[in-house]
Chains A and B, each alone.
Chain A
């Protein structure tokens, strides 16, 4: 079945540093979704990318979808303590399901 790999598994940064998490799929994706889960919380939808090479921004967060639609990245500029949590990418599977990456845990040291 489809697999979605995400790296790194864990990253600890100093407040103000940048952060990037990468997502790679074993198959071409029609779209990719990103979710954020705060510590002790539940995953919350952030954004969806659909087009090849698409770039979307949400304030300090930049999301990219690869040209081949098999990889994606999330970049956070100048991290803040409010950015802590786990970031998941997810690709669609038949039956309206999602296959989630294992997630990247971000810790920010102030």
Chain B
């Protein structure tokens, strides 16, 4: 979907480094989500946000930090990267209303050496 973009698409970094993954959506959706995808685990929710300045933990939040100062942006930061955080990260957004589908970005493939 052209309305939600993630950057970078690929990133290689070293353990202990800080890395920030960016997510930007143009739909003015209220909700935004960060997932990680690992083989055998499907999509696991890291953090989500219901609106600007409102964020909450998901299933696997440890080692990650998020912020949402503007509705359209939802960056995810790994404060001190570890090898176990090597994964594919997807950002998603959805409009308010419980039954609305989520729209995913193209993902960021992150490798931590």
- B-side contacts of A103, CB under 8 Å: 42-43
Secondary structure at the A interface, as helix, strand, loop or mixed, is loop
Number of B residues whose C-beta is below 8 Å from A? 25
CA A45 to CA B101, docked complex, whole Å: 7
Pick the residue among B45, B56, B90 that contacts A43 (CB under 8 A): B90
> When A95-B48, A95-B50, A102-B42 are in contact, do A42 and B101 touch as well, CB less than 8 Å?
no
CA A21 to CA B40, docked complex, whole Å: 16
Partner-binding segment picked from B12-20, B61-69, B70-78, B92-100: B92-100
**Interface positions of A (Cβ within 8 A of B):** 6, 9, 30-31, 33, 41-45, 48, 50, 88, 92, 95-98, 100-103
Contacts A45-B101, A96-B98 known; list 10 others, CB within 8 Å. A9-B40, A30-B98, A31-B99, A33-B101, A42-B90, A43-B92, A45-B103, A92-B99, A96-B94, A97-B45
Q: List 11 A-B contacts (CB under 8 A).
A: A42-B104, A42-B105, A42-B106, A43-B90, A43-B104, A45-B103, A88-B42, A96-B94, A98-B102, A100-B43, A101-B42
